[in-house]
Structure 1
Amino acid sequence: MTGQDWTPAEPDTWVRDVNAGRVPLLAEEYGRPLDVADLLGEARATTGLDDFGDFDFGAPGGFEEPLRILVDSLEAEGRLNVLGRYEIRQQILRLLQVRLHIARYLRDDPGVLDEPVDAPLFVTGAPRTGTSILHALLAQDPANRVPESWEFLRPVPPPRPGGVDEDGADDPRIPLVNRELRLTAMIAPGFDAMHERGARMPKECISAQAIAFLSEDFPGKFRVPAYAAWLASCDMRPAYRAHKVVLQILQRRYPAGRRWVLKAPPHLGTLDALLDTYPDARVAVTHRDPLKVLGSLASLLATIHATHSDAVDAPELARTQVDFYAGVLSRYTALRRSDRVPAETFHDSHYADFLTDPIGTVGALYERFGRELTDEAKDAMSAYLAGRPRGKHGAHTYQLSDFRLDAAELRKEFADYSAYFAVPEEGGAA
């Protein structure tokens, strides 16, 4: 419903039963508070491993400091329901298990840290500006290597080309990750119309950075204002170091020559750390009318948060995103005005142009960075688009008024950014 304060769609009966405590086993297991020592112990017990490693190379306080801040914020501010506790507990356990497996893999194969990650291309921009579809199109080019969700979530052992195990069967991690990613769509009716997720789909870099427990993945899913404020002030280089180790592992069994193409909207706010880790990186930035961005983003995040909490303050969540991206876009605008980073590092494109001519938009990106867009790649991209028409999973509807946001005020707040990058206003209800 639009035109009033946002409310979540009515959940299925099984969701209401679980969150109301009418499934005693789940209520008892996941109703208890999160405890860092308990989580560390369970990760060790389930893997038989003990060393969580230091492959993010000197994060202040190690990975346990951000983990403790996250857990404290979840407990004090998260307003978690039973399913929310289940999901974050399973996510933290997976991340700890992955850390243990990575640490062991690096001991067994230390040469992986010598793997070169040359000239990666990062797709970024505010959320809902077309980063996902651009990333997915770039994945159709055989010359590119785009990480699939199952690879980022469970990177050890290094995957084999085609997503098969040693016997040639589908890698068992694929269905395992698919079950995890599809849970949100099972809980929230209509979620696929906003943001479809699956194990074989491209994945954002925040999932790899989460291994360091320094990631916007957590505020994107849960109400954790204390953690989010701490994250905004900390050094993000350890998160990018962990990210690079994951890439080095993922490419270990692949033939050389394919170029990494990566994506996450939060990269736009941490470009210094990104370019410190990947000095030869190229960055493709997408732009869209901020009013459309913020309305769509508020709707998406409110839906995700509502799968983890029965007390979502949608206007508060929306205002948080307005403030966050006002800062991010302002800093990016100032960076591009300066000569601190060479202009050839970046390519800017508009969502409106992508809608009109997606292949042409990709072609301009390739030309900017001196890459060849082959006929084979163009055909693959066109076939991908033909198989995924807009609205395939239904319409995503929202209005700014659902979140108590005023269009005129937002126009003023984002005026400098919009003018500098010549971002066109979009018609229709904001």
Structure 2
Amino acid sequence: MAPYRERPDWLRRLNSFGPATGAAQQLVPLEPDALLALARSTTGLHEIGDDAWLESYRRMVSSIDTESRANLVGRFLARVEILRVLQTRLRLYEAWAKTPAILDEPIDRPVFVLGAPRTGTTILLELLALDPALRAPIAWEAHHPLPHGDFQDTESRRRLAESEQELWMEMQPEFATLHEMGSDLPCECVHFLALEFGGPYWAMQYQAPGFTEWAMTQPDIVPRSYRLHRQFLQTLQYGEERKPWLLKSPGHLRTIEDLFAEYPDAIVIHTHRDPQKFVGSAASTTAMLQWLRTEAVDPRLYGQLGLHGFGMMLNGVKELRKAGQLPADQMIDSHFADLMADPVAAIRKIYDAAGLDWPEGHADRIDGYLRDKPKGKHGKHEYTLEEYGLDAATVDAVYADYVEHYGIERES
């Protein structure tokens, strides 16, 4: 039995109030206009951008409300997350109105780490972020970028983010086997894309197929999301030393052309691993994320998403590169096997390809970081392909061209 099927007793008891009262939707309502009004009243702010994002926002919230089959805690988490993102959006627009120079900040030559989940993207981000000449977004500033209420200074916002992440770990202790949580750790930039209510963040957290299908037909959502992504970085950077940003999210694979449209000088590090290892792990990751919020966990559905979803994205990037539609000199391949065998050598290779200066003492920083963070520090992430309705032959059939094209080493 997979660990995501077992809930802490306190969480199970709390969720039982939903069916016991027959009123989970009434106990924790998810109504888009009411949530927006609440965000405005709690911040005292009104300006939140033009109306272009509103249809996406309303559809997304309504889809989570009616389709996600979220339990009581899942609905509470959705309400809190949606409200926090709305409040952040309001505060950002206030900051830009007060200080227009924020949006003049140059975001030069950002470095993106892209790859399927479980291909080494997280550890690579953390090791690259040890370079003092680069800047990765830190979890606390991604969630709480601007002062507000009782959280005016950096330390108070850091503590707030830490308490949020501690609660997540208490609700789902097994997630630490997948991904270490901490308010001071570098984090994915998917949180910035969430501000437009159309990016991959919400689809990963909640089952909202109606919204997801609709969003795929809307060509303006992704460019708007990347524009806000840039503006978020400009806000974090304003008044501080300018360094190349170090960013990461698997979701960029699907929208890599839009990424380069917004950041034409970006450096992209494309991570690769044996699909036999990452497909099942990606399915398990999605299952864990959604298990926290819903009773409707279907392992076979997650297996198909891991198999075909990332298959389409990875093969799509491969074809774009072969056709010369992505800048070859800005795409750098990094193999999981190489990173595990010799992290310093693998990262030096990335620096050489990117034209980055190797900082003094960087090898020692990398070695020291890895000594303090041994593999399996928080337990082993256990899963099987079969648990998700998959087998080795099925995975090979989808990924054979991808594996051959990049010369990916098979893992035992």
Is the aligned partner of 1:139 residue 2:129?
A: yes
How do residues 288-367 of structure 1 correspond to structure 2 at under 5 angstroms?
Answer: 288-367=273-352
Shift of 1:324: 1.2
Any idea what SS the aligned residue of 1:196 has?
coil
Q: Pick one of 178, 182, 186 that aligns with 1:202.
A: 186
Q: Pick one of 198, 202, 212 that aligns with 1:218.
A: 202
Counterpart position of 2:170? 186
Q: Pick one of 120, 123, 129 that aligns with 2:119.
A: 129
User: Using the alignment, how far apart are the partners of 1:252 and 1:223 within structure 2?
Assistant: 36
- Asked whether the 8 Å contact 2:314–2:402 carries over to 1, the reply is yes
- Asked whether the 8 Å contact 1:141–1:381 carries over to 2, the reply is no
**1:83-128 deviation per Cα after TM superposition (whole angstroms, max 9, x unaligned):** 1001110000001001110111001000111100000010111111
Identity %: 36
Counterpart position of 1:177? 161
How do residues 147-162 of structure 1 correspond to structure 2 at under 5 angstroms?
Answer: 147-157=137-147
Is the aligned partner of 1:227 residue 2:211?
A: yes
* More relative contact order, 1 or 2 (CA 8 Å, 6+ apart): 1
How do residues 8-19 of structure 1 correspond to structure 2 at under 5 angstroms?
Answer: 8-19=4-15
Counterpart position of 1:58? none
Counterpart position of 1:423? 408
Shift of 1:270: 0.6
User: Using the alignment, how far apart are the partners of 1:307 and 1:409 within structure 2?
Assistant: 28
User: Using the alignment, how far apart are the partners of 2:36 and 2:20 within structure 1?
Assistant: 25
Any idea what SS the aligned residue of 1:107 has?
helix
User: Using the alignment, how far apart are the partners of 2:372 and 2:26 within structure 1?
Assistant: 40
Alpha carbons of structure 1 residues 393 and 407: separation in structure 2 relative to 1, 3 Å: same
- Asked whether the 8 Å contact 1:31–1:85 carries over to 2, the reply is no
Any idea what SS the aligned residue of 1:145 has?
coil
Shift of 1:53: 2.1
Whichever residue aligns with residue 221 of structure 1, its letter is Q
- Asked whether the 8 Å contact 1:222–1:308 carries over to 2, the reply is yes
Whichever residue aligns with residue 96 of structure 1, its letter is L
Counterpart position of 1:49? 45
Any idea what SS the aligned residue of 1:348 has?
strand
Counterpart position of 1:93? 83
User: Using the alignment, how far apart are the partners of 1:400 and 1:21 within structure 2?
Assistant: 34
RMSD over aligned Cα atoms = 2.0
User: Using the alignment, how far apart are the partners of 2:52 and 2:241 within structure 1?
Assistant: 33
Shift of 1:363: 0.4
Q: Pick one of 229, 232, 240 that aligns with 1:254.
A: 240
Any idea what SS the aligned residue of 2:4 has?
coil
Shift of 1:157: 4.5
User: Using the alignment, how far apart are the partners of 1:285 and 1:234 within structure 2?
Assistant: 26
User: Using the alignment, how far apart are the partners of 1:147 and 1:24 within structure 2?
Assistant: 42
Most deviating of 182-191 and 360-369 = 182-191
With normalisation by structure 1, the TM-score equals 0.90
Whichever residue aligns with residue 175 of structure 1, its letter is R
Alpha carbons of structure 1 residues 209 and 273: separation in structure 2 relative to 1, 3 Å: same
Q: Pick one of 399, 402, 407 that aligns with 1:414.
A: 399
Shift of 1:303: 1.4
Whichever residue aligns with residue 67 of structure 1, its letter is Y
Shift of 1:9: 3.8
More helix by share: 2
Any idea what SS the aligned residue of 2:361 has?
helix
**1:260-298 deviation per Cα after TM superposition (whole angstroms, max 9, x unaligned):** 111111111111111111110010000011121111111
User: Using the alignment, how far apart are the partners of 2:43 and 2:401 within structure 1?
Assistant: 51
With normalisation by structure 2, the TM-score equals 0.94
- Asked whether the 8 Å contact 2:33–2:58 carries over to 1, the reply is no
How do residues 160-171 of structure 1 correspond to structure 2 at under 5 angstroms?
Answer: 170-171=154-155
Any idea what SS the aligned residue of 2:324 has?
coil
Alpha carbons of structure 1 residues 24 and 310: separation in structure 2 relative to 1, 3 Å: closer
Whichever residue aligns with residue 226 of structure 2, its letter is Y
Shift of 1:79: 0.8
Any idea what SS the aligned residue of 1:285 has?
strand
Any idea what SS the aligned residue of 1:312 has?
coil
User: Using the alignment, how far apart are the partners of 1:420 and 1:405 within structure 2?
Assistant: 23
Counterpart position of 1:243? 229
Shift of 1:299: 1.2
How many pairs are equivalent?
A: 407
Q: Pick one of 100, 103, 128 that aligns with 2:93.
A: 103
Whichever residue aligns with residue 241 of structure 2, its letter is P
Shift of 1:313: 0.9
Any idea what SS the aligned residue of 2:269 has?
strand
**1:48-98 deviation per Cα after TM superposition (whole angstroms, max 9, x unaligned):** 1111124xxxxxx52211111211221222010011001110000001001
User: Using the alignment, how far apart are the partners of 1:413 and 1:23 within structure 2?
Assistant: 41
Consecutive unaligned residues in structure 1, runs of 5 or more: 55-60, 159-163
User: Using the alignment, how far apart are the partners of 1:49 and 1:22 within structure 2?
Assistant: 33
- Asked whether the 8 Å contact 1:30–1:85 carries over to 2, the reply is no
Counterpart position of 1:385? 370
Alpha carbons of structure 1 residues 109 and 73: separation in structure 2 relative to 1, 3 Å: same
Consecutive unaligned residues in structure 2, runs of 5 or more: none
Alpha carbons of structure 1 residues 127 and 143: separation in structure 2 relative to 1, 3 Å: same
Any idea what SS the aligned residue of 1:259 has?
coil
Most deviating of 363-372 and 198-207 = 198-207
